Amino acid sequence: MSGKRSTIKRRTFLGAVLAGAAGGAAIAFGKRGGSGWRFFTDEEARTAAAICEQLIPADHDPGARQAGVVNYIDIQLTRHFRKHQKVYRSGLEKVQRISRGRFGNAFAVLSPQQQQEILNHVEKHVQPFFDLILAHARQGFYGDPRHGGNRDMVSWKMLGLPFPPVRGRMQYGDGPKVG
Residues that bind other proteins (CB under 8 A): 1-2, 4-5, 8-18, 54-57, 59, 61, 63, 76, 79-80, 116, 119, 123, 134-135, 137-139, 142-144, 146-147, 155-156, 158-162, 165-172, 174-179
Q: Return the closest-CA partner of residue 155 out of 46, 48, 58.
A: 58
Q: In the complex, what is the shortest distance from the CB of residue 59 to other proteins, in angstroms, rounded to a whole number?
A: 7
Single out the residue of 79, 80, 76, 58 nearest to residue 67, CA to CA: 58
Work out how close the CB of 90 gets to other proteins at its nearest, in angstroms, rounded to a whole number. 20
- Whether residue 130 contacts residue 143, with contact meaning beta carbons closer than 8 Å, is answered with no
CB closer to other proteins, 37 vs 81: 81
Shortest CB 94 distance to other proteins, Å: 18
- Cβ-based neighbours of 10, under 8 Å, separated by 6 or more: none
User: From the CB of 3, what's the least distance to other proteins, in Å?
Assistant: 11
φ/ψ of residue 62, rounded to 5: -60, 155
Cα 32 to Cα 54: distance, rounded to the nearest angstrom: 26
Give 13's contacts (C-beta < 8 A, 6+ positions apart).
Answer: none
Nearer Cβ to other proteins, position 108 or 140? 140
Query: Which residue lies nearer to other proteins by CB, 42 or 128?
Result: 128
Select 86 or 138, whichever has its Cβ closest to other proteins: 138
